[in-house]
Amino acid sequence: MQSLDDIAAQLQGYDPQALSVEGVHSFLRAMVQPLQTTESVPLVEALGRVLAEAIVSPLDVPAHDNSAMDGYAFSGQALHAGQTLTLHLAGTALAGQAGAQPLAAGQCLKVMTGAVLPAGLDTVVPQELVRADGGQIHIPANCVRQGDNRRLRGEDVAQGSVALQAGRALTPACVGLIASLGLAQVNVVRRLRVAYFSTGDEILSLGDAPREGAVYDSNRYTVRGMLQNMGMDCIDLGVVPDDPQALQAAFRNAAACADAIITSGGVSVGEADHTKAMMRNLAHSETPGEGGVAFWRIAMRPGRPMAVGRMGPVPLFGLPGNPVAVMVTFLAFVRPALWRMAGARDDDPHLQTPLLQARSSEAIRKKAGRTEYQRVRVSLASDGRLQVQTTGQQGSGVLSSMVQANGLMVLEHERGDVAVGDTVQVMMFAGLL
């Protein structure tokens, strides 16, 4: 395992007090490694899991050339441009029946969708396009071409081909595809166990009586929700007060039972912000050479104070305390890092979050030199383009701005102020939250 110092040394312009969002991504890609433990699970439990090995198809899907329509199958060679074709009906083939015998020239077969096409029949005319007259079928001129409405054997998945690559996070479509190959079990990477706790003397748990100066813990619930959406195993370690002893015990406990640790609060420069110091000391003393805290300030808003480090092999994500900052830093950094640990490929189409382009409906002040995330409502303007509007107060503690939003506006590092009508990038919540 590379030490954190080694990783930092390879990073251009590394500054633990002001790392760019891109720098954080590079650091995390080097710091977190995929789990190696795999297990076989029934397909019905495989949704959201990550494939541990490629799935090579044991068969052709579909298994035979077959009809894509209810209609009449015939040899397309008999078609001539501009001419009606009249064929003699030789029988009927339903889906699920074994293939019929080949036909003689001038004959056709009535077929239902999915029926096997006998050798020589390569074209299907939909039944609503023909005129049936006793045993004669009249196909009007120019209504089909040779090869129309036929599904070819193996056109979806060919026997021996890679149907899904290792590292795919299984979506409903993936699970369906695996089922179409007749496979009832799949090998997946072990589920990631993620422990999390909130820190702060002022944080109340649900059930505690309200008291002056205190706030109810929302971070454990947003974090848990985002972890559950990813199908991770969640270990809730509660609220830990701003007390070095209690924090130390919580970190040790978390590192003993989890693959990754997420905390919130205590990483800024407040007097009671012990989490960062504790992470640093503990990570160093428990696992000299391997552990440590790599950086603690990111050039972004919200989410500037954030500590990232490692206790032995276990990554630590010390998120800020403010509820919106927790969600934004989780989406920006923790989510991709955890997927990587869970064995997912960086280019998994399901896990990538493509940025859309939209027009800002308002002017926004933005400082160059940091990445900013605004909570926005994305909608379709009357000219058919996407437009975005911020959702009220953008303070990093205002969770309702997240509730009303359907996406995050991402204002890049170098960018300055945004004027009304400027094009901006948006990350949609669909699939993320």
Least distance to ligand AMP, CB of residue 270, Å: 5
Q: How far apart are CA 223 and CA 210, in angstroms?
A: 22
Question: DSSP letters of 30-89?
Answer: HH------EEEEEGGG-TT-BBSS-EE-SS-BSSS-EESSSEEEE-GGG--TT--EEEEE
Q: Smallest gap, in angstroms, from Cβ of residue 243 to Mg ion?
A: 12
The yes or no reply on residue 218 touching ligand AMP (CB under 6 A) is: yes
Q: Identify what 387 binds: ligand AMP, Mg ion, none; CB under 5 to 8 Å per kind.
A: none
Q: State residue 94 phi and psi, 5-degree precision.
A: -100, 160
Identify the residue among 53, 70, 122, 202 touching ligand AMP (CB under 6 A): 202
Contact string 377-406 vs ligand AMP (x = CB under 6 A): --------------------x---------
- Rule CB under 6 A: which of 274-333 touch ligand AMP? 320-323
Residues 6+ positions from 196 with CB-CB distance below 8 Å: 220, 223, 224, 227, 234, 235, 236, 237, 261, 262, 263, 264
DSSP 11: S
Partner whose binding site includes residue 215, from ligand AMP, Mg ion, none (CB under 5 to 8 Å by kind): ligand AMP
By CB under 5 A, how many residues form the interface with Mg ion?
A: 4
CA angle, 372 then 374 then 379, to 5°: 135
Among residues 421, 422, 426, 423, the alpha carbon closest in space to that of 410 is found at: 426
Range in contact with Mg ion (rule: CB under 5 A) among 149-157, 199-207, 246-254, 377-385: 199-207
Q: Pick from 20, 66, 219, 360: which binds ligand AMP (CB under 6 A)? A: 219
* CA atoms of 122 and 179, how far apart (whole Å): 28
| Contact (Cβ atoms closer than 8 angstroms) between residue 418 and residue 394 | no
Binding segment for Mg ion among 2-10, 94-102, 321-329, 413-421 (CB under 5 A)?
A: 321-329
Q: Is 265 in the site for Mg ion (CB under 5 A)?
A: yes
Answer yes or no whether residue 268 interacts with ligand AMP by CB under 6 A. yes
Q: How far is the CB of 182 from ligand AMP (least distance, A)?
A: 48
For residue 304, the minimal CB distance to ligand AMP (Å) is 10
154 binds ligand AMP (CB under 6 A): no
Q: Is 334 in the site for ligand AMP (CB under 6 A)?
A: no
Separation CA 21–CA 414 (nearest Å): 12
Query: Quick check: 401 and 392 in contact, CB under 8 A?
Result: yes
Binding flags for ligand AMP, 52-81, as an x/- string (CB under 6 A): ------------------------------
**Cα–Cα nearest to 338, from 46, 48, 2, 8:** 48
Site string for Mg ion, 343-382 (x = CB under 5 A): ----------------------------------------
Q: Which stretch binds Mg ion (CB under 5 A): 6-14, 193-201, 287-295, 322-330?
A: 193-201
Beta partners for 263?
Answer: 197, 318
The nearest distance, CB 315 to Mg ion, in angstroms, is 21
Residue count of the chain, please give it.
433
Shortest Å, Cβ 318 to ligand AMP:
10
Residue 222, binding choice from ligand AMP, Mg ion, none, Cβ under 5 to 8 Å by partner class: none
- Residue 322: name its binding partner from Mg ion, ligand AMP, none (Cβ under 5 to 8 Å by kind): ligand AMP
Contact between 237 and ligand AMP by CB under 6 A: the answer reads no
The span from the CA of 346 to the CA of 369, in Å, is 26
Choose among 292, 294, 263, 279: nearest CA to 19: 294
Gap between the terminal Cα atoms of the chain: 32
Report how many residues bind ligand AMP under the rule CB under 6 A. 19
Query: Is 200 among the residues that bind Mg ion (CB under 5 A)?
Result: yes
Residue nearest to ligand AMP (CB): 321
Distances (CA, A) of 195 to 221, 234, 240, 262, 265: 13, 6, 13, 6, 15
**What is the Rg, in whole angstroms, of the alpha carbon atoms belonging to the chain?**
30
193 close to 259: Cβ distance less than 8 angstroms:
yes
Instruction: Write out the two tokens for 45.
Output: 């439990």
Choice between 71 and 321, CB closer to ligand AMP: 321
Q: Which residues bind Mg ion (CB under 5 A)?
A: 200, 265-266, 321
Q: Which residues bind ligand AMP (CB under 6 A)?
A: 198, 200, 202-203, 215, 217-219, 264-266, 268, 270, 273, 320-323, 397
